[in-house]
Amino acid sequence: MEMQQFYYDNKIVKKFIYATVVFGVVGMLVGLLLAIMFIFPNITDGISWLSFGRLRPLHTNAVIFAFVGNAMFAGIYYSMQRLLKARMFSDVLSNIHFWGWQLIIVAAAITLPLGYTSSKEYAELEWPIDIAIALIWVVFGINMIGTILRRRERHMYVAIWFYIATFVTVAVLHIFNSLALPVDGLKSYSAYAGVQDALVQWWYGHNAVAFFLTTPFLGLMYYFVPKAANRPVYSYRLSIVHFWSLIFIYIWAGPHHLLYSALPTWAQNLGVVFSVMLIAPSWGGMINGLLTLRGVWDKVRTEPVLKFFVVAITGYGMATFEGPMLSLKNVNAIAHYTDWIVAHVHVGALAWNGFLTFGMVYWLLPRMTKGQLFSQKLANFHFWIGTLGIIIYALPMYVAGFTQASMWKQFNPDGTLTYGNFLETVTQIIPMYWMRMIGGSMYIIGMFVMVYNVVVTVRRNNAVQDEAAEAPALEKISPSRLKGEKFHGWLERKPVQLTLLATVAILIGGIIQIVPTIMVKSNIPTIASVKPYTPLELEGRDLYIREGCVGCHSQLIRPFRSEVERYGPQAKAGEFVYDRPFLWGSKRTGPDLERIGGKYNDNWHFNHMWDPQSTSSGSIMPGYKWLFDNKEMNFADIEAKMKTLQKLGVPYTDQEIAGAKEAMLKQASMIQKNLESDPDYVKSYEDSKKAAAKNGENFVPMEKREIVAMIAYIQRLGTDIKVKETAQK
Amino acid sequence: MFEAIKHNMETISGVEIYPMISLSIFFVFFVALALWVATYTKTKIAEMSEIPLKD
């Protein structure tokens, strides 16, 4: 048979590896800064773009999409060419994919700190960037499927199936979750409201973990672990079962993020059942990965690449055992909103994604540069300090999580809360935050050691060249089934059909879960007293979104005695019908705010937002001083915002929209009047007026500054229900 | 669990069939998968699992 000569594109792999290393360092350093802020909350005092709320999404996005994303692409571009015995379909597409993805990352790194965010977790980027992501993702997909169609290997190895499922599912999830109506170039309102928005968001959020952080890395595991161990995967049959059952079951499990929420019970229960089932394929995959090393365990002692892989796969096993446990309602009641979840995600990210990436980099670089790794010793050091770092990070967070949960739920014999002041539960776990910071630092030190090792290896060895290869072309055979060919044999050589079948597998769960909630109106009971936000409150809500308050404060009271006692009546689905996006949150570093309205007076909020420690000693909330700046709040587009919401179904009348600015000023001046009841406020306000006059600055009255809108929104929270209760009395 | 489902979705006519359909899809899926995997020959499995080692 005639052999065809061709070259594997190594240069694109090299680019993605470098991007992985660079953005890994950046993303993790931002994480470390955030960890430090738990101990020194005002370390970036007064700098809006370095505040906790704005940096948190930057950290999660950088680690998920920049670090893990680039690592995934590096591994896919390397392994896919070799598994298919073909160069990538198009060098131009490869490069558009690479540069496009890096531009998206840079756009995220600029817009998130500036406060442009949709506030939906792991989907924070605003609509123009969302569109760019969709386009670049399609470029990646065309390049991948094109390569598959040109392959010289009849059978598509299971890793390729995982890559295909990744492409298809992330596309579906990203598009449906990002649906929104733009107000202007960088602001939009979610196409879904309240409970529906939450369901779609966590269908996305859960499956982003599944199909961005898990399936592509499983594909990489099925390629790189056999390569590094130099033996085939333990059971190829098991890998087929692993693939189909994982993609089929994963997609159903999203609602386990919303247990005890205002989500309909049937959807919660469905999520639990499927989450528990998920342990089977996940552990099947983990066992398959680990047992691939049977007979070569002696190599694990000496070879850092295999060490990284073993801890990565073990981390996968731990995280996927913990996941189903966390989705059990009684466990979730303890873990949700606490630092336990932070521990859980970091075991997944640091061990599974991080260590698999490091192992892959240490394996790839010497091969691509045709030489040795500069230092095995440094790689071993990286392994040990990284492993210890994970442990010292995760364990204190577990302790912190249990401490929080048990303190939140503790009652005195007389029926009052033992720790009625939320702050007591915060100050108690500060030592855990210290330990977490130390563990995270160790992990980053390991990362820097890798950077050094990588740089020296690349310098000493040969420049990365495309690699020559040869293989016979695939013989043309009939597209229909051959004589004696089984169905799967046929399907597995038909990439388009396989892709379609994988799409069907993921859509079944998605449809069964989503459709009823979207279609059935009675799922979301309407409450007559719940009214749309006033223009000022709407602006305040957008400020709350801009500052990322949702990163630390939930707005969802679960039906527990301890929560009802602490925060007020449990959340009801009908209360959120005007919330676009929903702001339920997923973490309580601070208390829940669903019914905070009216609990404190306007002055308290004014002082608290300026200097949280002045009203709440020991608080780890940073001040939000820029909200008080001597400049007018930008409410120029309030009419456009209200019109957009009107189109989405919020019952604003045209009259209300026309009179929006007037209504805002009226409400704002009332708040200013309330503030003036405090003599201290009056004094400092007069002082700042004089100071402005002295400096020849234009003085903006308080009622026109951002803080007033923020107070208006906070004071509105949860008051609709109170109106009803008072009326009934 | 079915009670909970029916309670929230009683406005859809014939909703009782909904969980039954889900269960059957699930059952059929795994039976088909088991059959699929069982019908591979040993040599084919070995050949496929060797692919990464042959590049």
Which SS3 state, helix, strand or coil, does residue A95 take? Answer: helix
Across A3-7, A311-315, A521-525, least confident range: A521-525
C-beta atoms of B52 and A508 within 8 A: no
Confidence of residue A516 (pLDDT cuts 50, 70, 90): low
Domains of chain A: 9-452+487-512 (1.20.210.10), 535-728 (1.10.760.10)
Q: Could you write out the DSSP letters of every residue in A502-559?
A: HHHHHHHHHHHHHHHHHH-GGGS---TT--PPPHHHHHHHHHHHHTTGGGT------S
What number is the average pLDDT over the span A621-643? 93
Across the range A54-61, mean pLDDT stands at 97
Confidence of residue A592 (pLDDT cuts 50, 70, 90): very high
Nearest to A264 among B8, B18, B49 (CB): B8
Of B33, B48, B55, the CB nearest to A155: B48
- pLDDT at A515 exceeding the cut of 80: no
Q: Which of A368, A502, A494, A536 is nearest to A11 (CA)?
A: A368
- The three-class DSSP label of residue A587 is strand
pLDDT tens-digit readout, A237-286? 999 999 999 988 888 777 777 777 766 677 777 778 888 888 888 999 99
How far from chain centre, in Å, is Cα A414?
Answer: 41
Number of domain units in chain B: 1
| Residue A508 pLDDT level (bands cut at 50, 70, 90) | confident
Going by C-alpha positions, the residue among A253, A250, A110, A128 that lies closest to residue A178 is A128
Residue predicted with more confidence, A210 or A74: A74
* ipTM of the complex, rounded to two decimals: 0.75
Instruction: Give the residue among B3, B30, B37 at the shortest CA–CA distance from A280.
Output: B30
Q: Does A226 touch chain B (CB under 8 A)?
A: yes
Nearest residue on chain B to A510, judged by CA atoms?
A: B22
> What is residue A474's predicted lDDT score, i.e. its pLDDT?
84
Angle at A221 between CA A492 and CA A310, to 5 degrees: 150
Q: Which pLDDT tens digit goes with each residue over A446-474?
A: 999 999 999 999 999 999 889 999 998 88
Residues in A closer than 8 angstroms to B36, CB to CB, are 240, 487-488
Mark yes or no for CB contact A516/B12 under 8 Å: yes
> Region B3-16: what's the mean pLDDT?
49
- Cβ atoms of A195 and A579 within 8 Å: the answer is no
pLDDT > 70? residue A351? yes
Of B25, B33, B47, Cβ closest to residue A245: B33
pLDDT > 90 fraction of chain A, expressed in percent and rounded: 77
* Reported confidence tier of residue A728, pLDDT bands at 50, 70, 90: very low
**Tell me, what's the pLDDT at A335?**
95
Tell me which chain B residue has its CA closest to the CA of residue A519. B12
The pLDDT confidence band at residue A689, using thresholds 50, 70 and 90, is very high
Is A520 touching B (CB cutoff 8 A)? yes
Q: Is 50 exceeded by the pLDDT of residue A729?
A: no
Shortest CA gap B48–chain A (Å):
7
A39–chain B nearest CA distance, Å: 44
Task: Look at residue B6 in the predicted model and tell me its pLDDT.
Answer: 45
Range(s) of the domain holding residue B18: 2-54
Residues with Cβ within 8 Å of residue A320, at least 6 apart in sequence: A278, A279, A282, A283, A286
Cβ distance A523 to B39 less than 8 Å, yes or no, reads: no
> Which residue among A157, A241, A265 places its CB closest to the CB of B8?
A265
- With contacts defined as CB-CB under 8 Å, which chain B residues touch A237? 37, 40, 45
Task: Answer whether A284 touches B (CB < 8 Å).
Answer: no
Helices A339-346 and A376-409 sit at what angle, rounded to 10 degrees? 160
Mean pLDDT across chain A, nearest whole number?
92
Chain B interface, mutation test: which of A222, A266, A329, most B Cβ atoms within 10 Å? A266
Q: What is the DSSP letter of A188?
A: E
Predicted confidence (pLDDT) at residue B1 exceeds the cutoff of 70: no
- pLDDT > 70? residue B18: no
A681/A607 Cα distance (integer angstroms): 9
Which of A79, A489, A516 comes nearest B9 by C-beta?
A516
Please give the model's pTM, rounded to 2 decimal places. 0.93
Q: Does A698 have pLDDT greater than 50?
A: yes
Q: Are A341 and A430 in contact (CB under 8 A)?
A: no
CA-based nearest distance B40→chain A, Å: 8
A517: confidence class by pLDDT, cuts 50, 70, 90? low
Q: Are strands A3-8 and A187-190 parallel, antiparallel or unpaired?
A: unpaired
Confidence category of residue A522, pLDDT binned at 50, 70, 90:
very low
DSSP H/E element including A595: none
Would you state the pLDDT for residue B4? Answer: 47
A73 in contact with B at a CB cutoff of 8 Å? no
Which helix (H) or strand (E) segment holds residue A724: the answer is: helix A719-728
